[in-house]
Structure 1
Amino acid sequence: MRTSVRGTLAGAAVLGALLVPATAEATPGSGVTGVILSKTTLGKTDYILREITIQPGGGTGWHFHDGTLYAFVKAGTLTHNDADCVTQDVYRAGATFVEPKGADKVHIGRNLGSTPIVLDVLYVLPTGSPLAEDAPNPGCDFQ
């Protein structure tokens, strides 16, 4: 009887594993560091000011945000690609840009230059949200 129960449980575990849909793997960032300069919560919104540095050859990995981000490029040149694998924006020192919220706004930031990128970013997020949500590569030939 005991063997039968073990066999049934093992069979159920295998069947459960086969029925669970496969999840695509997130693309981790590399060469990226960040320091939170300030954080304030007003009502149900977190306002987080963060300085991000991306080393030459580094990138954020594919991701999206639960809230809107406002960025200023202090140094370097950021190459920013959307999930359509075509849209590419290049932001140089002194530029500002906005990253809209939502899982349908997957993107990646890369440093294709030879000097570090330094960004000052204001995150406007629902209280308690992570700074970014990892996402799989949408099928682009670059990381």
Structure 2
Amino acid sequence: MRIRHRVLLALTAACGLAVTPTVASATPSTGVHGEILGQVTFGDKDYVLRKITVDPGGSTGWHFHDGVLYAAVAGGTLSHYRSDCSVDGIYQTGNTLIEPSGSDHVHIGNNSQTTPLVLLVVYVNPTGSPLSEDAAAPNCQLPG
């Protein structure tokens, strides 16, 4: 409950900031569109609020984050996989998730549904860090 409160607080704080469109940077992503809704820096941290839409059949590509990511599923279903290709969560509209930082947390998100997946994401990154870092595909096969 405390984590959910922090996510909502960060989302609320970032909502009032400038709007700047961008494209998702993880490669090889397919059908992923991102839009920065707000960004602010406090101390040595960047707080970025971003809306990410993943088309049906789309994927984020294998990647990791330099900071912690807090996400809420605003629409659709996210299938989330660890670097050993095991499912670490199926998140539906209204669900929240946290992605820890570091190259030891490589993951991929897929939309295997027929409707778009919409995520509202707060990145808490070291100042100047990219939103995501590309990672090589692991030596395993995703289910399905």
Q: TM-score, normalised by structure 2?
A: 0.79
**Consecutive unaligned residues in structure 2, runs of 5 or more:** 1-25
In structure 1, give the amino acid aligned to 2:120: D
Q: Is 1:50 matched up with 2:54?
A: no
| Root-mean-square deviation (Å) | 1.4
The alpha carbon displacement at 1:86 in A equals 1.7
Aligned to 1:34: 34
Contact 2:64 2:103 (C-alpha < 8 Å) held by counterparts:
yes
> What per-residue deviation string (whole Å, max 9, x for no partner) do you get for residues 54-112 of structure 1?
00000000000000000000000000000021233100000000000000000000000
Aligned to 1:114: 114
Aligned to 2:75: 75
Q: Distance in 1 between matches of 2:47 and 2:28?
A: 24
Contact 2:36 2:51 (C-alpha < 8 Å) held by counterparts:
yes
Q: Distance in 2 between matches of 1:96 and 1:85?
A: 21
Aligned to 1:21: none
Aligned to 1:22: none
Contact 2:86 2:142 (C-alpha < 8 Å) held by counterparts:
no
Pair member with larger Rg: 1
Aligned to 2:136: 136
> What per-residue deviation string (whole Å, max 9, x for no partner) do you get for residues 25-53 of structure 1?
x8510000000000000011000000000
Residue 113 of structure 1: SS of its match in structure 2?
A: coil
Residue 81 of structure 1: SS of its match in structure 2?
A: strand
Aligned to 1:86: 86
Q: TM-score, normalised by structure 1?
A: 0.79
Contact 2:79 2:87 (C-alpha < 8 Å) held by counterparts:
no
